[in-house]
């Protein structure tokens, strides 16, 4: 009996904390949060390449014809090294958390590109809109992407509300969610897991590492992310992506929100 | 035959030439004798010397009682007499040295790959990941269970091989390497814009502590004085990291024994703590907070007040969720007596951090080798004597309470001053040993500069490197169904081990 009272007292104390999002407002992001970056190429100094030199992953690209700068969010660590290096304040990181895209090329930002890009996918919407079971494969993930995916299963984010769930067997899954740059030592395990999932199936690459190798891009020990080994259907950038970025990506992909 | 080592302090640069290079037999006996007298082997590793194209073998040993580190070097040649038979703490290090450099520790009892790297030795073929000469028991009713690399939950990959009779595990062999990303190789090649990010992601749940370890080595080699304010902000972030991970672990332990209220509350509370870190630097894991010379983001009065208010709520939530678990007899019955490790075994294999303190070993870098703000503000070391899953859970909770108190005190009296100092040119031909106490335990970075003052990090040791073998020992004579519980009670890093 005392135990039951303890449990009830704790339950009253903890209250109901599940987010209202997406029916209500999205949870507040911290003031210093780094979302999608913006570049105003017009402000760039002549022949200045300060941001390109400081970027740890080579995520900043210069268009050959126009000289305009673009940022590949699939490589970007959102570390603000470019923002700090820029002598003319041409780069800043916004609070835009909606970063996921269904096509790799849509992760490249810059003038003339709409952002956030469309992430909706017809097959996913048709088959998995109300129930998506995912097998989680960490392939060189540092446990940050893992933690921010894990948190989606807690009572606060509760992605089970949308029928989305991580399942313990590939046989029960509709697809895999991959994190990490895919070390050579994980190549076979990733391929076998993919093969063990019944078709039709999807692959979600979460975090800069899984999209492009990220910080480990061009390391001979890794495969520069999942895409060389398995066909990726949804790309969720970040290092790690904020849980809100991941959930938004999943919901837009499934056509649950627009 | 023993010889004098070089005595140094934590995170203090010294001229590399001062490190004595002795003959192999003297090196071997000195290390064994130091460990026999109570020293811990922080690192035993080979380091390539490009200036004379040779390999040096270095040992870093910590004497907790007087806060001194001892260093000794030797030229191992192609083979040498293994230390492991006389010094269990060397076991995993010697396997690493053999795998990475092809130097053969003769009569090592268990010489198998630990990361399955491509072999550098001419006559040793590269091992295929997961294919090892696993220890086997034979007998009619003996069976073997293989788990991983991909696991059922949202966790990193690793392979576990159990030898069982019925439900009872007689032997567990842990085979890792799936997370090998080449961090040590990259760090040993010199500074690039990626260097600090490697430290941030060596074990991504330990961003603050690994980056602090990296920065303080860099700073001492540059003779940079970090302001007290920056040190306080680093320590606040490090203790937030500890609280977040400890609360997450306690929730997961509750889940592993099927006590859902605490599991659910803690999952959410952990996120609330990560959000506090994001208030300071924008990132829930503390990415981008540290820089050599200090920190990138200040903690002004308004932010300090905001944090204090949030942490008061979080602590009340944590007390409600976690004391519920420790007051529930069915939870205690599952935790107590499960996965016991004795203090003697823990000492022998050189366990660090929470796992060691849960065996009654009072070791904590924040007290024994104080660095940063911990030199002036102390935290009591929390221990428990039973060495079981309960002890590993309860030490986490005791530490969590201390960390809350510590952060409150820091926020109440944040030192004035700049948040970062400029980092001058590095001192050439020098070395620094940098230790911190991450939430899992001791983190060690060995950093050096060459004649042209180019900085390299030839060795990183994550606490998991010391502790994985402890998990294997704790599983002996346990029910295999208790493996998830025992594993979570250690909660070691796969990527921090594989690097």
% chain B with pLDDT above 90: 92
Instruction: Give yes or no for a contact between B19 and B44, defined as CB atoms under 8 angstroms apart.
Output: no
Whether residue B127 has pLDDT greater than 80: no
Whether residue B120 has pLDDT greater than 60: no
Identity of the residue in B182, B202, B284 whose CB atom sits nearest the CB atom of A220: B182
Query: What's the whole-number mean pLDDT along residues B314-327?
Result: 97
Set out the domains of chain B in order of their start, with CATH numbers: 6-106 (3.30.460.80), 183-498 (1.10.645.10)
Structure tokens given for A256: 């649950």
Whether residue A7 has pLDDT greater than 80: yes
Q: Tell whether A18 is covered by a domain.
A: no
Whether residue B106 has pLDDT greater than 70: yes
Q: What are the CA-CA distances from residue B85 to residues A238, B23, B107, B110, B316 (Å)? A: 46, 19, 8, 10, 50
By three-state DSSP, how is residue B8 classified?
A: strand
The CATH number covering residue A56 comes to 3.30.70.3270
The region of weakest confidence among B47-56, B200-209, B267-276 is: B47-56
Whether residue B105 has pLDDT greater than 60: yes
Q: In this predicted structure, what is the pLDDT of residue A116? A: 67
Distance from CA of A127 to the nearest CA of B (A): 24
Whether residue B280 has pLDDT greater than 80: yes
Both A89 and A128 in one domain: the answer is: no
Residues 67-86 of A with CB under 8 A from B: 77-81
Q: Tell whether A148 is covered by a domain.
A: yes
From the number of C-beta atoms within 10 Å of its C-beta (0-12, 13-18, 19+), residue A111 rates as middle
Whether residue A46 has pLDDT greater than 80: yes
Both A126 and A248 in one domain: the answer is: yes
Neighbours of B336 (CB within 10 A): 15
Cross-chain residue pair A146–B197, CB shorter than 8 Å: no
Instruction: Give yes or no for a contact between B78 and B30, defined as CB atoms under 8 angstroms apart.
Output: no
Whether residue B357 has pLDDT greater than 60: yes
Both A59 and A153 in one domain: the answer is: no
Q: Tell whether A111 is covered by a domain.
A: no
Whether residue B278 has pLDDT greater than 70: yes
Alpha helices, H only, B327-445: 329-335, 343-349, 353-357, 365-368, 389-412
% chain B with pLDDT above 70: 98
Residue-wise pLDDT tens digits, A205-243:
999 999 999 999 999 999 999 999 999 999 999 999 999
Which of B148, B158, B201 is most worth mutating to test chain A (most A CB atoms within 10 A of its CB)? B201
Identity of the residue in B177, B198, B495 whose CB atom sits nearest the CB atom of A143: B495
The region of weakest confidence among A31-45, A138-152, A177-191, B31-45 is: A31-45
Distance from CA of A126 to the nearest CA of B (A): 26
Name every chain B residue with its beta carbon within 8 A of the beta carbon of A139: 157, 178
Instruction: Give yes or no for a contact between B463 and B443, defined as CB atoms under 8 angstroms apart.
Output: yes
Whether residue A34 has pLDDT greater than 60: yes
- Name all contacts of A46-50 with Cβ < 8 Å and 24+ positions apart: A48/A87, A48/A88, A50/A85, A50/A86, A50/A87
| Residue after which a domain boundary falls, among A49, A64, A97 | A97
Identity of the residue in A14, A141, A166 whose CB atom sits nearest the CB atom of B321: A14
From the number of C-beta atoms within 10 Å of its C-beta (0-12, 13-18, 19+), residue B453 rates as middle
Instruction: Give yes or no for a contact between B395 and B389, defined as CB atoms under 8 angstroms apart.
Output: no
Instruction: Give yes or no for a contact between B183 and B198, defined as CB atoms under 8 angstroms apart.
Output: yes
Alpha-carbon distance of B110 to B132, in angstroms, equals: 11
Query: What's the whole-number mean pLDDT along residues A91-119?
Result: 85
Whether residue B478 has pLDDT greater than 70: yes
From the number of C-beta atoms within 10 Å of its C-beta (0-12, 13-18, 19+), residue A103 rates as middle
Cross-chain residue pair A140–B284, CB shorter than 8 Å: no
How many domains would you assign to chain A? 2
Structure tokens given for B181: 């990303």
Query: What's the whole-number mean pLDDT along residues A68-92?
Result: 94
Whether residue B124 has pLDDT greater than 80: no
Instruction: Give yes or no for a contact between A63 and A112, defined as CB atoms under 8 angstroms apart.
Output: no
Query: What's the whole-number mean pLDDT along residues B103-132?
Result: 81
Cross-chain residue pair B284–A166, CB shorter than 8 Å: no
Between residues B73 and B118, which one has the greater pLDDT? Answer: B73
Whether residue A131 has pLDDT greater than 70: yes
Would you call B360 an interface residue with chain A, using a CB distance cutoff of 8 Å? no
Name the one residue in this structure whose structure tokens are 């221990």. B383
Residue-wise pLDDT tens digits, B371-410:
999 999 999 999 999 999 999 999 999 999 999 999 999 9
Q: In this predicted structure, what is the pLDDT of residue B282? A: 97
Distance from CA of A78 to the nearest CA of B (A): 9
Do β-strands B442-449 and B455-461 pair in parallel, antiparallel, or remain unpaired? antiparallel
Both A151 and A211 in one domain: the answer is: yes
Q: What are the CA-CA distances from residue B301 to residues A180, B297, B336 (Å)? A: 38, 13, 44
Whether residue B126 has pLDDT greater than 80: no
Whether residue B123 has pLDDT greater than 90: no
Distance from CA of B74 to the nearest CA of A (A): 30
The CATH number covering residue A218 comes to 3.40.50.12280
Between residues B40 and B51, which one has the greater pLDDT? Answer: B40
**What's the ipTM?**
0.96
Q: Tell whether A114 is covered by a domain.
A: no
- The mean predicted confidence, pLDDT, of chain B is 95
From the number of C-beta atoms within 10 Å of its C-beta (0-12, 13-18, 19+), residue A33 rates as buried
Would you call A32 an interface residue with chain B, using a CB distance cutoff of 8 Å? yes
Q: Tell whether A105 is covered by a domain.
A: no
Q: In this predicted structure, what is the pLDDT of residue B187? A: 94
Name the one residue in this structure whose structure tokens are 């870093």. B60
Q: Smallest Cα–Cα separation from B339: which of B323, B359, B360, B357?
A: B359
Q: Tell whether A203 is covered by a domain.
A: yes
Would you call B277 an interface residue with chain A, using a CB distance cutoff of 8 Å? no
Distance from CA of A141 to the nearest CA of B (A): 7
By residue range, what is the domain housing residue A200? 122-253
Q: Tell whether A258 is covered by a domain.
A: no
Both A243 and A128 in one domain: the answer is: yes
Q: In this predicted structure, what is the pLDDT of residue B216? A: 97
Identity of the residue in A30, A79, A180 whose CB atom sits nearest the CB atom of B197: A79
Query: What's the whole-number mean pLDDT along residues A91-101?
Result: 94
Q: In this predicted structure, what is the pLDDT of residue B355? A: 98
């Amino acid at each position: 009996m005392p135990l039951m009272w303890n449990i009830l007292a704790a339950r009253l104390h903890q209250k109901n904390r599940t987010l209202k999002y997406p029916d209500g407002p999205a949870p507040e992001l911290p003031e210093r949060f780094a979302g999608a970056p913006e570049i105003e190429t017009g402000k760039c100094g002549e022949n200045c390449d300060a941001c390109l030199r400081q970027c740890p992953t080579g995520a900043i690209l210069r268009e050959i014809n126009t000289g305009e700068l673009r940022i590949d969010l699939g490589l970007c660590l959102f570390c603000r090294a470019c923002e700090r290096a820029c002598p003319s304040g041409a780069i800043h990181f916004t609070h835009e958390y909606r970063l996921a895209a269904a096509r790799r090329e849509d992760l490249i930002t810059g003038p003339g590109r709409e952002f956030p890009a469309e992430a909706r996918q017809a097959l996913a919407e048709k088959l998995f809109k109300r129930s998506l079971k995912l097998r989680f494969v960490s392939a060189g993930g540092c446990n940050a992407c893992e933690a921010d995916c894990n948190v989606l299963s807690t009572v606060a984010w509760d992605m089970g509300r949308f029928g989305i769930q991580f399942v313990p067997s590939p046989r029960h899954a509709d697809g895999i969610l991959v994190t990490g740059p895919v070390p050579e030592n994980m190549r076979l395990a990733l391929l076998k897991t993919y093969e063990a999932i019944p078709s039709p199936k999807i692959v979600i690459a979460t975090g800069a590492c899984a999209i492009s190798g990220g910080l480990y891009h061009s390391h001979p020990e890794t495969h520069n992310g999942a895409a060389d080994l398995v066909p990726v259907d949804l790309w969720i950038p970040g290092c790690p992506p904020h849980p809100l970025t991941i959930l938004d990506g999943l919901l837009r992909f499934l056509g649950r929100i627009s | 035959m023993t010889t004098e080592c070089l005595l140094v302090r934590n995170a203090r640069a010294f001229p590399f030439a001062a490190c004595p290079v002795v003959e192999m037999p003297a090196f071997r006996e000195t290390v064994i004798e130091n460990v026999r007298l109570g020293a811990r082997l922080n690192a035993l590793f080979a380091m390539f010397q490009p200036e004379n194209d040779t390999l040096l073998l270095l040992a870093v040993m910590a004497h907790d009682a007087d806060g001194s580190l001892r260093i000794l070097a030797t030229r191992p040649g192609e083979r040498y007499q293994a230390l492991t038979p006389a010094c269990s703490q060397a076991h995993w290090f010697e396997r690493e040295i053999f795998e990475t450099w092809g130097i053969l520790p003769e009569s090592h009892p268990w010489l198998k790959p630990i990361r399955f790297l491509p072999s550098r030795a001419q006559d040793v073929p590269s091992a295929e990941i997961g294919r090892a000469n696993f220890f086997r028991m034979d007998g009619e009713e003996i069976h073997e269970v293989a788990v991983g690399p991909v696991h059922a939950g949202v966790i990193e990959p690793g392979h576990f091989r159990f030898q069982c009779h019925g439900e009872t595990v007689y032997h567990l062999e842990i085979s890792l390497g799936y997370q090998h990303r080449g961090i040590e190789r990259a760090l040993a090649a010199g500074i690039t814009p990626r260097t600090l990010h490697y430290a941030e992601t060596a074990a991504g749940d330990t961003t603050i502590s690994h980056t602090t370890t990296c920065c303080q080595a860099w700073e001492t080699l540059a003779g940079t004085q970090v302001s007290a304010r920056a040190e306080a902000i680093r320590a606040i972030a490090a203790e937030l990291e500890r609280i977040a991970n400890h609360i997450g672990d306690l929730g997961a332990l509750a889940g592993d024994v099927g006590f859902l209220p605490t599991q659910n509350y803690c999952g959410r509370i952990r996120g609330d703590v990560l959000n506090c870190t994001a208030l300071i630097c924008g990132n829930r894991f503390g990415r981008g907070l540290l820089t050599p010379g200090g920190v990138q983001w200040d903690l002004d009065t308004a932010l300090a007040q905001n944090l204090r208010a949030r942490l008061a709520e979080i602590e009340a939530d944590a007390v409600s969720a976690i004391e519920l678990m420790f007051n529930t007899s069915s939870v205690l019955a599952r935790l107590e007596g499960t996965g016991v490790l004795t203090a003697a075994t823990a000492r022998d294999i050189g366990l660090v951090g929470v796992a060691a303190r849960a065996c009654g070993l009072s070791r904590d870098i924040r007290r024994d080798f104080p660095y940063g703000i911990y030199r002036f503000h102390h935290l009591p070391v929390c221990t428990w004597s039973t060495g079981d899953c309960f002890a590993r859970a309860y030490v986490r909770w005791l530490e969590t309470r201390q960390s809350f108190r510590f952060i409150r005190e820091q926020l109440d009296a944040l030192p004035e001053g700049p948040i970062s100092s400029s980092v001058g040119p590095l001192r050439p031909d020098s070395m620094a040993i940098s230790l911190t106490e991450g939430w899992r335990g001791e983190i060690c970075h060995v950093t050096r500069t060459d004649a042209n003052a180019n900085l390299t990090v030839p060795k990183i040791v994550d606490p998991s490197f010391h502790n994985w073998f402890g998990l294997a020992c704790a599983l002996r004579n346990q029910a295999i169904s208790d493996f998830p519980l025992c594993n979570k009670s250690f909660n070691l890093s796969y990527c921090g081990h594989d690097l």
